[in-house]
């Protein structure tokens, strides 16, 4: 009686590596060597730069609102009995902040993905 044919045995010594550089880079990060610290520092600088740039856009955008509201034509305009500055603050401000937060999370994730690609993970 013969059973199902088995594939020939294969001796596995080490898992196949994609390249020595990727393994070495990951080790550098884990062991916090100078190269690993430089890679982590690059990620931190990228995240900080992103936060500062996006924060500057939000501050400039919302900082311009008082100037915009100082224009008499805009300040005195009413839509459905509600002045335009209140509509802008109540209807436009929250979606704008939500969009800025969503964009930050998306770009920060992209920075982390790029870091993981460099680290070989």
| Residue 92: strand, helix, or coil | helix
Q: pLDDT grade, residue 118 (50/70/90)?
A: confident
Single out the residue of 89, 87, 109, 101 nearest to residue 58, CA to CA: 101
Helix, strand, or coil (residue 17)? coil
pTM above 0.85, yes or no: no
User: What is d(CA 18, CA 13) in angstroms, rounded to the nearest whole number?
Assistant: 15
Between 118 and 45, the more confident residue is 45
Question: Apex CA 115: angle with CA 110 and CA 120, to 5°?
Answer: 125
pLDDT digits (tens, 9 = 90+) for 29-87: 666 677 777 788 888 899 999 999 999 999 999 898 888 888 878 778 788 887 878 88
99 vs 84, which has greater pLDDT? 99
SS3 32: coil
For residue 13, what are its two tokens? 């010594």
SS3 per residue for 23-86: HHHHHHHHCCCHHHHHHHHHHHHHHHHHHHHHHHHHHHHHHHHHHHHCCHHHHCCEECCEEHHH
pLDDT at position 25 is 61
CA distance 24 to 21: 5
């Amino acid at each position: 009686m013969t059973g199902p044919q088995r594939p020939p045995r294969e001796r596995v010594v080490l898992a196949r590596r994609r390249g020595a550089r990727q393994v070495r880079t990951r080790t550098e990060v884990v062991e916090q060597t100078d190269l690993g610290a430089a890679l982590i520092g690059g990620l931190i600088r990228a995240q900080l730069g992103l936060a500062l740039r996006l924060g500057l856009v939000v501050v400039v955008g919302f900082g311009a609102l008082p100037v915009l509201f100082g224009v008499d034509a805009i300040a005195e305009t009413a839509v459905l009995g509600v002045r335009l500055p209140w509509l802008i603050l109540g209807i436009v401000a929250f979606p704008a902040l939500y969009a800025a937060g969503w964009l930050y999370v998306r770009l920060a994730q992209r920075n982390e993905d790029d870091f993981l690609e460099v680290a070989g993970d």
